[in-house]
Structure 1
Amino acid sequence: MNRHAMIKTLFKSLAAACLAATLTACSAASDQAAAQDPPLEGARIGGPFTLTDKDGNEVKWSDFDGKYRMVYFGYAYCPDVCPLDVQRMMQGYKGFAKSHPDLAKQVQPIFITIDPERDTPAVVGEFAAAFSDDLLGLTGTAEQVKKAADAFSVYYQKGEVRDDGSYLMDHSRGAYLMGREGEPIALLPVDQGGPQVAEELEKWVH
């Protein structure tokens, strides 16, 4: 079984359970939404980068101008946290899309690797597709990835290499919601669950 199939199998039951809860949370959030300042307003997060998609095409941060962006940094070989976080992020997005299909089209979910040594365009493409066709997986050279991570204040470091050549990546955990002009809006609560992510999207995507 390849990585794509394993990830889909692992989260199949979780996806079904989360979706119903996500839709409920979306409705509640819409009723309770109130005008307020974005939590990350004015923060120095985000900035120009150039990376590569699954087909080897160049992708720039400016390509998303005019759209909201959900951005998560992780790596495809992560055994636990990354796939769980991305699953919850996309559950939230899907729940939001059910309630607001037109607005969801103006949001681009993005996964950026912090392990370019192993995460080739094909690997990040396979990883992203396991969660949603709407999730864009990006990689690049070590220098390009570092520039993107630095722009988002993301910490990462390669762990000790084992005898079989495998290793883990130590990295900070966070998913960012960015605005139409690339400005930081809020952290998405991927540690809490899909319903909470959907609720946060309800607050800020208009």
Structure 2
Amino acid sequence: MHTKIIVSVVLGVLLGAVAAVAVFPEARNKFFPQSQTQTSGKALIGGPFTLTDASGKTVTDADYRGRYMLVFFGFTGCPDICPAGLQLISAALDKIGAKADKVTPIFISVDPARDTPQKVGAYAKNFNDRIVGLTGTPEEIAAVAKAYRVFYEKTPNESVPAEYGMNHTSIIYLMGPDGTYVAHFNPTTSVDAMSEKLNKLL
């Protein structure tokens, strides 16, 4: 079991690294420098979404305008990456004090078949009362994952098919009050590093 957890964490970090190289211009330039062509511009992530909160209410990205968002994708059955990411978000927001009031942390399930609105909402609140849990139909989750350039897929359990897992991108996105990308973190970021960066950006 310990080995499986380590493998899962490593896989999540690798998925996040691949996504960062693919999406963020600065990451592409760092790992794949080009002598003549320079890449610039904003990261191509974020956009409109329609999802459901724990009360069953339909919410959209427009509901969070005027506030920063910390957006993290995962699922309630996640054994390691999701708890680590949510604990990091909680601790970092606690550490920055009053500035945390400017931020809405959002946990979006990539497992809509099993994660009901109530289930994902309660799961998120286990880590911090500030965290909003959202889910939706498979089509709505596919749309928001595409907008945020998030990869996810089922990992079948050959012994018990109903007990599948999920591989998914583990990046935590900080989005600005206008809904545009500001910065990103991953579950292995230290609390001090995340809170320091948030303090500078908020």
TM tier, smaller: 0.7 to 0.9
Query: Normalized against structure 1, the TM-score is what?
Result: 0.75
Q: Shift in Å at residue 170 of structure 1?
A: 0.9
Partner of 2:190: 193
The corresponding residue for 1:148 is 144
Among candidates 108, 113, 118, match of residue 117 of structure 1 = 113
The match for 2:91 is 91
Q: Distance in 2 between matches of 1:119 and 1:162?
A: 21
Q: 8 Å contact 1:50–1:59 — kept in the other structure?
A: yes
**Aligned to 1:123, what secondary structure does the other structure show?**
helix
Cα RMSD (Å) of the superposition? 1.5
Partner of 1:50: 50
Q: How many Å apart are 1:188 and its aligned residue?
A: 2.2
- Share of identical aligned residues, percent? 39
Normalising to structure 2: TM-score of the pair?
0.77
Alignment of 1:1-206 (within 5 A): 42-97=42-97, 101=98, 103-164=99-160, 165-205=162-202
Counterparts of 1:105 and 1:89, CA distance in 2: 13
2:132 partner letter: L
In the TM superposition, residue 190 of structure 1 has moved relative to its aligned partner by 3.0
Maintained 8 Å contact 1:189/1:197: no
Does the C-alpha gap of structure 1 residues 190 and 80 become closer, same or farther in structure 2, counting only changes over 3 Å? closer
Three-state SS of the structure 1 residue aligned to 2:84 is: helix
My pick for the range that moved more, 138-147 or 196-205, is: 196-205
Structure 1 residue 89: Cα displacement: 1.4
**1:198 Cα deviation after fit:** 0.7
Structure 1: which 4+ aligned runs deviate by more than 6 Å?
none
Q: Higher RCO, 1 or 2 (CA under 8 Å, sep at least 6)?
A: 1
Q: How many Å separate the matches in 1 of 2:142 and 2:191?
A: 28
CA shift for structure 1 position 202: 1.0
Give the distance between the partners of 2:169 and 2:78, measured in 1 at CA: 13
Pairwise CA distance, 1:157: 0.4
- Structure 2, unpaired ranges of 5+: 1-25, 28-40
State the number of aligned residues. Answer: 163
Instruction: Report the secondary structure of 2:118's partner residue.
Output: helix
**Equivalent position SS for 2:173:** strand
